[in-house]
Amino acid sequence: MSAAVTDWTRRTAAQLADALAAGEVTSVQLTQAHLDRIAAVDGDVHAFLHVDAAGALAQAAASDARRAAGTPASALDGVPIAVKDVLATSGLPTTCGSRILEGWLPPYDATVVARLKAAGLPILGKTNMDEFAMGSSTEHSAYGPTHNPWDLDRIPGGSGGGSAAAVAAFEAPLALGTDTGGSIRQPGAVTGTVGVKPTYGGVSRYGLVALANSLDQAGPVTRTVLDSALLHEVIGGHDPLDSTSIDEPLPDLVAAARLGAAGDMTGVRVGVVTELGGEGYQPGVLARFQESVDLLVEAGAEVVEVSCPHFVHALAAYYLILPAEASSNLAKFDAMRYGLRVLPEHIDNPSAEDVMRATRDAGFGDEVKRRIILGTYALSSGYYDAYYGQAQKVRTLISRDFAAAFEQADVLVSPTAPTTAFKLGEKLDDPIAMYLNDLATIPANLAGVPGISVPSGLADEDGLPAGIQVLAPAQADDRLYRVGAALEALLEKKWGGPILDRAPELNGVSA
């Protein structure tokens, strides 16, 4: 990168906000810079399903007009953002990575999208994802996989691989993701970015096309902890359109991030969860995790080992609850009111039933069908108690484990994902192997507690990024930001700069 030319895409959102406030750049300029970057590299990365250049530039121009009038809508007014395609955007295609919603233009905005617009963030486009957020690799997108900017032959994690890759490839300074079992945090870990799953109920789900309603949560996808805090404050808080939304103010997240960045962890009790590590975890991932914990100790934290004995059942509970809720949520995709309609071959004058069956067969991918059938089974009258009912009880046990652990520690930590990014195609037809990627992230969704993934470094075996996850009690999201920002500061000091500085240059980057 030439020192003479400012590359606005390399800045953090906080830096961009400062530059906008100082009049060093306009929103149109930096929105255009990101659109140019997308044009240059997204052919290789495929982070976006839809780019809305005209819309983003119009919003940027409106932002510049507010700045000129001295009435910016928020601290991030004018900083562009990418939005996961599972969030409804009025008049912008929203496919959830599925054929069945190809071409659907929602007549309404998700609450989080409405809040982005109200805060003045130009929306660059919609990012790729596993179909209906079912997956951990973004390979289950009906529109082709997203590639990891660290190694284009590898997965960017999932389901929100598009948002993570867009941020990692400097195509957007900020993105929104959604996390049902790790879909924000696990992509963050394998792309060297930051991702936050807020407390369940802390961010509105209205307009988030539900995968598993009792587990889903939208959250920030960024390159720095401070940027996540800034974005979290824009999208978070009570929404009367979401009955499960918490009607209380958010903690001061930005202040917590700034406090944490000073690096002092004195008095903070950090619990290492015995059950989230060891067997099944890649040695390089564990090594980076241990180094991170050591840094926290050096910074004054008190580290204790805590046991959460029921976490071993979390994955099983998750793969009963999620398919059950999903099978019901996805019933609405029936070719009658919106989306794809496929007429069955070889049937004259087909009935509505025939058309539903043919459309759902043609419109859903394998993983979606697997989970719908599994969920239909789990809810069937003969099996409900043994499966869905038991899974809900295990959920109680996992919540109790968390409650006990948070008696001993202010935050819990673990590796975010058991491995670094694997090769595209490697686990595509082995569902169980794919599901194991979410081993460490799922308990937080089952209990509704918040979590953040922060880069922990590069694994020795493959030189690919790994992540450390920090979990906090419900509604104590500020603790994520304090500890996350401290880890980020301590690690970057050790590395001599952000981890993404060590990512390979992508084709198309100008010299």
Partner 1 sequence: MSQTTTAVSLLSFEEALEKFDPALGLEVHVELNTASKMFCGCPTGFGAEPNTQVCPTCLGLPGAMPVVNRKAVESAMRIGLALNCEIAEWCRFARKNYFYTDMPKNFQTSQYDEPICFEGYLDVDVDGEMFRVEIERAHMEEDTGKSLHVGGATGRIHGADYSLVDYNRAGIPLIEIVTKPIMGTREQAPLIAKAYVAQLRELIVALGVSDARMDQGSIRADVNLSLAPAGSGTLGTRTETKNVNSLRSVERAVRYEMQRHAAILDGGDSILQETRHWHEDTGITTSGREKSDAEDYRYFPEPDLVPVAPSREWVDELRGTLPENPTVKRARLQAEWGFSDLEMRDTVGAGAMGLVEETIAAGASPQSARKWWLSELARRANDTETDIAALGVSPADVAAVQALVESGAINDKLARQVFDGLVAGEGSPEEIVAARGLAIVSDDGALGAAVDNAIAANPDVADKIRDGKVAAAGALIGAVMKEMRGQADASRVRELILEKLT
Partner 2 sequence: MPEIPGSSSARVEITRDEVAHLADLARIDLSDAELDHLAPQLSVILESVASISGVAGDEVPPTSHALPLTNVFREDVVVPCLTAAQALSGAPAQEQQRFSVPRILGDEQ
Active site (catalytic) residues: 84, 159, 183
Q: How far is the CB of 108 from partner 2 (least distance, A)?
A: 8
| End-to-end C-alpha distance for the chain, whole angstroms | 6
φ/ψ of residue 366, rounded to 5:
-55, -45
Q: Is 73 helix (H, G, I), strand (E, B) or coil?
A: coil
Residue nearer to partner 2 on the CB measure, 34 or 126: 126
Q: How far is CA 178 from CA 42, 213, 279, 307, 428, in A?
A: 21, 12, 28, 28, 21
Q: Measure the CA–CA gap between 72 and 74, rounded to whole angstroms.
A: 6
Q: How far is the CB of 185 from partner 1 (least distance, A)?
A: 21
Residue nearer to partner 1 on the CB measure, 30 or 218: 218
Out of 15, 32, 213, 390, the only residue in the binding site for partner 1 (CB under 8 A) is: 213
Q: How far is the CB of 243 from partner 1 (least distance, A)?
A: 5
Site string for partner 2, 46-85 (x = CB under 8 A): ----------------------------------------
Residue nearer to partner 1 on the CB measure, 63 or 178: 178
Q: How far is the CB of 404 from partner 2 (least distance, A)?
A: 15
Assess 425 for contact with partner 1 (CB under 8 A).
no
Identify which range of 203-211, 396-404, 453-461, 464-472 contacts partner 2 by CB under 8 A: 396-404
SS (H, E, C) 308-365: CHHHHHHHHHHHHHHHHHHHHHHHHCCCCCCCCCCCCCCCCCCCHHHHHHHHHHHHCC
Looking at residues 78 to 107 of the shown chain, list those that interact with partner 1 (rule: CB under 8 A).
Answer: 87-88, 94, 96, 101, 104, 106-107
Q: Measure the CA–CA gap between 291 and 456, rounded to whole angstroms.
A: 8
Assess 447 for contact with partner 2 (CB under 8 A).
yes
DSSP 9: G
One-letter identity of residue 126: K
Assess 61 for contact with partner 1 (CB under 8 A).
no
Site string for partner 2, 236-275 (x = CB under 8 A): ----x--xx-x-----------------------------
One-letter identity of residue 426: E
Q: Measure the CA–CA gap between 351 and 338, rounded to whole angstroms.
A: 17
**Exposure string over 265-283, b if 16+ CB within 10 A, otherwise e:** beebbbbbbebbbeeebbe
Assess 231 for contact with partner 1 (CB under 8 A).
no
Q: Choose the one of partner 1, partner 2, none that binds residue 15, judging by a C-beta under 5 to 8 angstroms depending on kind.
A: none
Q: Determine contact, residues 56/46, Cβ cutoff 8 Å.
A: no
Q: Measure the CA–CA gap between 450 and 246, rounded to whole angstroms.
A: 13
Paired residues of 50 in beta bridges: 126
Residue nearer to partner 2 on the CB measure, 105 or 262: 105
Assess 326 for contact with partner 1 (CB under 8 A).
no
Edge-to-edge strand list for the sheet holding 194-197? 48-51, 123-127, 81-84, 174-178, 218-222, 194-197, 451-458, 465-471, 411-415, 269-273, 302-306
- Using left for φ > 0, alpha for ψ between -120 and 50, and beta otherwise, residue 364 falls in beta
* Sign of the C-alpha dihedral computed for residues 460, 462, 464 and 466 taken in this order: negative
Out of 399, 426, 492, 509, the only residue in the binding site for partner 2 (CB under 8 A) is: 399
Q: Give how many residues touch partner 1 by CB under 8 A.
A: 45
Site string for partner 1, 374-413 (x = CB under 8 A): --x--xxx--x---x-------------------------
Identify which range of 247-255, 276-284, 333-341, 446-454 contacts partner 1 by CB under 8 A: 333-341
Assess 207 for contact with partner 1 (CB under 8 A).
yes
Polymer length of the chain: 511
Looking at residues 188 to 227 of the shown chain, list those that interact with partner 2 (rule: CB under 8 A).
Answer: 200-201, 214-215
Q: Choose the one of partner 1, partner 2, none that binds residue 390, judging by a C-beta under 5 to 8 angstroms depending on kind.
A: partner 2
Looking at residues 320 to 359 of the shown chain, list those that interact with partner 2 (rule: CB under 8 A).
Answer: 320, 327, 331, 334-341, 344, 349-358
Interface residues with partner 1 (CB under 8 A)? Answer: 87-88, 94, 96, 101, 104, 106-108, 110, 205-210, 212-214, 240-244, 324-325, 327-328, 331-334, 336-338, 349, 352-353, 356, 376, 379-381, 384, 388
